[in-house]
Each structure stands twice: as structure tokens, then as C-alpha cells.
Amino acid sequence: MKFTIERKVLIKMLKMLSLGGVAQDDHLRIAAQDGEITLTVEDRAGTSYVAIVEEEGVCFFRHKQFLPLLRTYKDTKRLTIEINPQEIKFGSTSISRGFWEISLFENPATAPQRLMLRSPEVAREDDSQKQQGFDF
């Protein structure tokens, strides 16, 4: 997933999403598709704007992580953001996807509208059942 957008537009989009308040752990969904970027947070209505989309995709990450990084680029007019299986490239900054807990879906048509995380207990239960040969 890779797109370029004006920094001011991205800030306005984030502010529109934040009007009703955003919890610290809410996931920001960014969809890059058909020449547009669409941002949504959890189950709220989203906001879209035209962008240069080089690679389509959908990604999720914690809302609280995005704005502080965006603020470090205050002198930049346009930002290119790329999310790949290894990292997120935000302007000249590269951050490991694992460090930021970023989920990437390369096909927007099959990407979920909301990220559903499994609790650690459920994940361990699922893993132990798989090891025992159960297929659920």
C-alpha cells in the first residue's frame, strides 16, 4: 500500500474523525483505493479525499501513534506513506510493522471494516487446539 497526500488535508481528515473523541486504543483504518484515501476510526463514519494512490490496500493501526508522527513533518507539504509486510515508511521515517502493531490488507475488497483482535487467552486456546489436531 502506498499513497501520497497533502499533509494539511491529512490533518483535517484526522481532526474530523476526532470530533466525537477517540479512545487511546482505537484503530485508525486507512484505505487507499481508486485514487482516494478513506480514514475511519472504529464504527464511526469516515472521511475521504483524493490522493495519489500507487498501491492499493487497507491498513489499521492505533490512532494515538499517527498524529504525533504527522506533527514531526510540519514543514512538509506532501507526504508519501507506504506500508509493506516489513515496515511503514512515513516520509523519511521507517518503523517496523511489529513495533507499531500495524495490520495490512493488500486487497481492499477483502479487508475488514473493523479490526477484531483476539485476546491473548483466546489466541493461546486456539494454538493449543491446533497443536492437538483439532480443526475449528
* Grid cell in block for residue 37: 484515501
Verdict on whether the full-model pTM lies above 0.85: no
Tell me the pLDDT of the chain averaged across its residues: 80
Q: What fold characterizes domain 2-131?
A: DNA Polymerase III; Chain A, domain 2 (3.10.150)
Residue 24 has what pLDDT? 58
Instruction: Label residue 1 by pLDDT band (50, 70, 90).
Output: very high
Mean pLDDT of 53-77: 87
Kindly provide the b/e burial profile for residues 76-106, where b requires at least 16 CB atoms within 10 angstroms of the residue's own CB.
Answer: eeebbbbbeeebbebeeeebebeebebbbbe
Residue 22 has what pLDDT? 65
More confidently predicted of 89 and 64: 89
Mean pLDDT of 95-109: 83
Q: What is the pLDDT of residues 5-42, one digit of tens each?
A: 999 999 888 888 777 666 656 788 899 999 999 998 87
| CA distances in angstroms from 49 to 36, 39, 120, listed in the order given | 5, 9, 36
| Domain edges within the chain | 2-131
Residue 134 has what pLDDT? 37
- Whether 94 shows a pLDDT value over 60: the answer reads yes
